[in-house]
Structure 1
Amino acid sequence: MSVANPEPELEEPVDIHARIRDAIETDDVDGLEALLATLTLSDALREILQFPPKERDRVFGMLHADRAAELINEAPNEIAVELVERLEAGTAVHIIDELDSDVQADVIGELSDEDAEAILAEMDEQDAADVRRLVSYDDGTAGGLMIAEAFTFHEGDTVGQVLRRLASDDEDFERYRGQHPYILDAGERPVGVVSLRGLLTSKRSAPLSGIMTPPITVSTGASLDELRDVFDRHAFLGIPVVEADGRLAGVVSRSAMDEAVLEKAESDGLKRQGVVGDELRSMPTLLRARRRLAWLSTNIVLNIIAACVISAYEETLTAIIAIAVFLPMVSDMSGCSGNQAVAVTMRELSLGLVKPIDAFRVWAKEASVGVLNGVVLGILIGLVAWVWKGNAVLGAVIGFALALNTILAVSIGGVVPLLLKRFGQDPAAASGPLLTTITDMAGFFLVLSLASAFMPWMV
C-alpha cells in the first residue's frame, strides 16, 4: 500500500516593506542594502516612498552613496529634489557626487539658494563650477540637457594615448555614455572626432589630427526640436555642445534627448488634464490640492459663463423641455472633435511641422474636416432626436447645431494652440479650458437660439 506524498507547504510571501522597516528601526545598514538589492530600482523607490518623510530621511542617511544616488536618479525630479533637500549637506554631497553632472544640475537648480550653496560649498571646486554653469542654461535646450564630462584629447595627442586611456580604470568612462573621442584645439574648441575603427586601424604613433573627421556640433541654446532633427539625421549616441565662442561646453546624449521628449509629452498630457508639475501621491497633500484647485477654480468661472447662456433661454427650455436632453450631447461631441484637433496641432508643434504663422493653413484644413464630420454627426444625432421624440423639426435643429458647433470646435482646436504659442502662453495648459468653454457656450447658444426661432413648429 503506497503512501501519498504530503503536499509541500507553501512559503509565506515575504513582506519586503515590513523587513525594510525592521532594518530602519535597528539601523541594519547591511540588511537594508541587501533587501534593496533584491528589488529593481523602481520597486525599491516605490517601497521607500511609502514611508513617512522622517523614515525616508533615515533610509537615505543609512544607504551607501552609490545606492542612494541610483534611487535619486530613478526618482522624478520633484521627488529627487525633496529627498535631497531634507538631507544634511554632508550626506547630500556624497550622494550628489555619484550623479552625472546633468542630474546634479537638475537637482541643485531646484533647491533653495541656501541649500544649494551649502551643497556646492562641500563639492569639489571643478564639479561645483560645472554645476553652476549647467544650471544657468534653460531647460529643454542642449545646454540644459548636456553633461559636462566629455571624452576629449588634443590635436597633438596620438592614437596610443587614446588606447591607453581606454584600457585604464578611468571612473569617468561610465559617464561618457558611448562618446567618441573629441579632438580640441588650443582654445578648447572641437575640431575633430575619431571613430573606434580609425583608432584600431592606425599606428599607435599616428597623431589624432591625421585620422580625425570634422565634428557635428550644436549650440548650448539649441532647442529640443533642433536636437531631435540632428539625431534623426545622424546615428550618433552623443553630440558635442559648444558655447557662442566655439569652446566645448559638454555633450548631449541621444538618451537624454529621448527622455526629455518623453517628459515633455507626459507633461503636456498632464497639463491638458489640469495637473501642473510632476504630481505624485507621495507629495504633500496640501501641495497637491493647491495645484489642482488652481485649475479647477478657473473652470468654475468658465462653467458659470456657459450657464449664463442657458439662463438667457429659460423660456425656450421651459416650452420645449426635450431640448435639455440634447444640450450636453451637442457640447460633448463637439468638444471631442475639438480635442482631436488640439492633439494634432500639439503633435505638429512638438515635431516642428507647424508654427504660429501657419494658423490660416491649419484652420483651412481643420475646417474641411469639420464640415465633413459635422454633417455626418449632425445627420446621425438629428435622426436620433427625430425618432426618439417624434419631432422632425427638433431633429433638424439639434443636427444643424451639432454640425455648426463641430466646425467651430475643430477650427478653434486647430488654431488656438498656435495663437497661444504666438503670445508666449503654454498651449498644453490653456488650450483645453478655452476649447471647452467656447464649445459649451457656442453649442448651448446654437441649440437654444435655433429652437427659439423654430419654436412654432416644435411645440
Structure 2
Amino acid sequence: MEAIAKIPQEDGNLSQRIRDAVGQCSASDLEGLLDPLTSSEALRELLLLSPAERDIVLEIVPAGLAAGLVEEAPNEMAVELVERLDPERAAEILEQLDSDIQADVIGELNETDAEAILSEMDEEDAADVRLLSTYDDDTAGGLMMTEVFRFNDTQTVGNVLRNLASDDDDFERYRGQHPYVVDQDNRAVGVVSLRSLLTAKRSEKLTAIMVPPLTVPLDMRLEELEDVFSEHPFLGVPVVDVDGVLVGFVSRSAVAEAILKRSESESLKRQGVVGDELRSMPLMLRSRRRLAWLAANIVLNIIAASVISAYEETLAAVIALAIFLPMVSDMSGCSGNQAVGVTMRELSLGLVRPMDATRVWLKEISVGVINGIALGILISLVAWLWKGNPALGIVIGVALALNTMLAVSIGGVVPLLLKRLGQDPAAASGPLLTTITDMAGFFFVLSLATLLMPWLI
C-alpha cells in the first residue's frame, strides 16, 4: 500500500520541479527533468503546464528535445504548440524532424504562420515541405519522407561504405532504408542490400550487385500501401513520380500509424468527438465542439419521440409495450451498426464506391431477412412466455424483424450516399441510423399494436 501511495506524490514532485524550473527559466534543469522521461511521459508533463508555461519550455530547452515533444503530440496539439512560438524558434524545432512530420504540422497552420516559419527554414527543407503539403494525407506522397538513402549508378561499394562510416547523423535519418541507386536523371534503377555491400569488393560498381527496386507511385492510396507491406517484408519502399524519378521513401511504420490514426478518428467521430481533442485544450473549444454534436442529437431524438407521442393511447392501453420498445430499437440499432462497420471497412479498402449502393443493399437485405426473422421469432417467444399473450409476441416479433431489415439497409447504404454527397460517413452515419431505427422501431411496434388492439387487452 505504501508503494501505491507514493506514486502520485512522486508525480506531483516531478511536476512541481518542472514548474519551478519553468519559473526560473532554467534550460538545464528542464532538460535534466524531461530528457530521462519517455516521449509520452514528457508530453504528459508538458500538457499539465499552462499554455504560457509550455511556450517557455519549448523556447528554452534544446531544439532536439522540443522536437521530440512536438512529434509525440497529436497533430492538432502539435500545431497549437508550434504556432505559439516565434517563427525562428519554430523553424529551428521543425528542422529536427523528418520531412513528413514537418509537412503535417506546416500543412495545418494558417498560410501566414506557415510562410513565416518556412522563410526561416533551410531553403531545401522548406521546398520539401511545400512539395509534401500538396499531396493528400492518405497517399504515398502525403506519407513519405523526402530523405532518401540514394547513390548514383556510377558509384562503387566503397563509396557507400565510406558514407556509412562518416555520416552517422545523416544515416540515422535513413533508418529502415537500403541504399537506392539512381541514374543521371535521378530515376530509381536499383536497390542494394546491406549484406551485398559487406560481401562485395569495394571497387565493385553498385550496378553489379543491385536488384530492381519495388517502387510505389506518389498517388498510391493508403489501402494499397497496406497491401504492399502485407505482401512484402520491407521496412519501407521508395516513392517515384510518373517519370520514375525517386522523390521519397514511405516506411511501414508510417503506413501502420496512418491506418491506426484513421481508425481512431472514425471511431471518435462515431462517438461525437471531433478532431484530436485533449483535455489540455481550451475549455470553450472543447465545449463548443461537443455541443454541436449533442444539439443535433436533441433534434433527432425529438423526431423519434414524436412517434411515441402519436400513439399515446395505444401505449397507455397496453403498458407492456413500453418494456419492449427499447429492446426493438436497440437490437435493430446493433444490426445496423454491424452493416455500417462493414461498409466503412470496405470504403477504406476501396472495395466499394457510392455507385455500388444497389449491390450493397442486396447483400445486406439478404442478411437482414435471415437475422430479422430469427431475432423476431426469438423475441416473440420471450414476449409470449413473459406476458402470456401470443398477440403481444406477434407484435414485438414482427416489429423487430421489419426494423432489423430496415436497419441493415440503412447501415449498409447510408455511408455510401453520404460519401457521394461529400459528407463524412464516419461522423454522420451513426446519428442517422440511430434516429431512423428508433423512429421506425417505435412506429412498427405501436402501429401493429393498434391494429391488434382487441387481442392485446
TM-score range, shorter chain: over 0.9
Partner of 1:106: 104
Cα displacement string for residues 2-56 of structure 1 (whole angstroms, at most 9, x for unaligned residues): xxxxxxxx98943111111111112222221111123211011111101110111
Provide the alpha-carbon RMSD of the alignment. 1.9
How many residue pairs match? The answer is 450
Corresponding letter in the other structure for 1:156: T
Partner of 2:120: 122
Alignment counterpart, residue 309 of structure 1, candidates 290, 307, 310:
307
Contact map agreement 1:240 1:250 (CA 8 A) in 2: yes
Structure 2: gaps (5+ residues): none
- What is the CA–CA distance in structure 1 between the aligned matches of 2:356 and 2:114, rounded to whole Å? 43
SS of residue in 2 equivalent to 1:171: helix
Alignment counterpart, residue 381 of structure 1, candidates 370, 379, 382:
379
Contact map agreement 1:76 1:278 (CA 8 A) in 2: yes
Corresponding letter in the other structure for 1:411: S
- What is the CA–CA distance in structure 2 between the aligned matches of 1:262 and 1:323, rounded to whole Å? 43
- What is the CA–CA distance in structure 2 between the aligned matches of 1:260 and 1:266, rounded to whole Å? 10
SS of residue in 2 equivalent to 1:222: coil
SS of residue in 1 equivalent to 2:151: strand
Partner of 2:160: 162
Partner of 1:208: 206
- What is the CA–CA distance in structure 2 between the aligned matches of 1:376 and 1:138, rounded to whole Å? 45
Corresponding letter in the other structure for 1:135: S
Cα deviation for residue 361 of structure 1 reads 4.2
SS of residue in 2 equivalent to 1:440: helix
- What is the CA–CA distance in structure 2 between the aligned matches of 1:234 and 1:78, rounded to whole Å? 33
Residues 1:59 and 2:54 aligned together: no
Partner of 1:256: 254
SS of residue in 1 equivalent to 2:108: coil
| TM-score (normalised: structure 2) | 0.94
Cα deviation for residue 398 of structure 1 reads 1.0
Partner of 1:197: 195
Cα displacement string for residues 50-92 of structure 1 (whole angstroms, at most 9, x for unaligned residues): 1110111111112111111111111101111100111111221
Pairs within 5 Å for 1:138-287: 138-287=136-285
Residues 1:36 and 2:39 aligned together: no
Cα deviation for residue 234 of structure 1 reads 1.6
Pairs within 5 Å for 1:314-325: 314-325=312-323
Change (3 A) 1:169 1:186: closer
SS of residue in 2 equivalent to 1:214: coil
- What is the CA–CA distance in structure 2 between the aligned matches of 1:377 and 1:266, rounded to whole Å? 31
Partner of 1:4: none
Cα deviation for residue 357 of structure 1 reads 4.6
SS of residue in 2 equivalent to 1:251: strand
Partner of 1:300: 298
- What is the CA–CA distance in structure 1 between the aligned matches of 2:356 and 2:127, rounded to whole Å? 43
Corresponding letter in the other structure for 2:53: E
Structure 1: gaps (5+ residues): 1-9
- What is the CA–CA distance in structure 1 between the aligned matches of 2:438 and 2:261, rounded to whole Å? 31
Q: Bigger shift: 253-262 or 115-124?
A: 115-124
- What is the CA–CA distance in structure 2 between the aligned matches of 1:73 and 1:172, rounded to whole Å? 19
Contact map agreement 1:177 1:253 (CA 8 A) in 2: no
- What is the CA–CA distance in structure 1 between the aligned matches of 2:19 and 2:252, rounded to whole Å? 39
Corresponding letter in the other structure for 1:216: L
Cα displacement string for residues 227-276 of structure 1 (whole angstroms, at most 9, x for unaligned residues): 11111222111111122332222111111001000000000101111111
Q: Bigger shift: 410-419 or 37-46?
A: 410-419
- What is the CA–CA distance in structure 1 between the aligned matches of 2:403 and 2:154, rounded to whole Å? 70
| TM-score (normalised: structure 1) | 0.93
- What is the CA–CA distance in structure 1 between the aligned matches of 2:22 and 2:108, rounded to whole Å? 28
- What is the CA–CA distance in structure 1 between the aligned matches of 2:424 and 2:277, rounded to whole Å? 18
Corresponding letter in the other structure for 1:175: R
- What is the CA–CA distance in structure 2 between the aligned matches of 1:368 and 1:243, rounded to whole Å? 44
Q: Pick the structure with more helix per residue.
A: 2
SS of residue in 1 equivalent to 2:181: strand
State the percentage of identical aligned residues.
Answer: 69
Contact map agreement 1:93 1:122 (CA 8 A) in 2: yes
Contact map agreement 1:147 1:251 (CA 8 A) in 2: yes
Alignment counterpart, residue 90 of structure 2, candidates 76, 89, 92:
92
Residues 1:77 and 2:67 aligned together: no
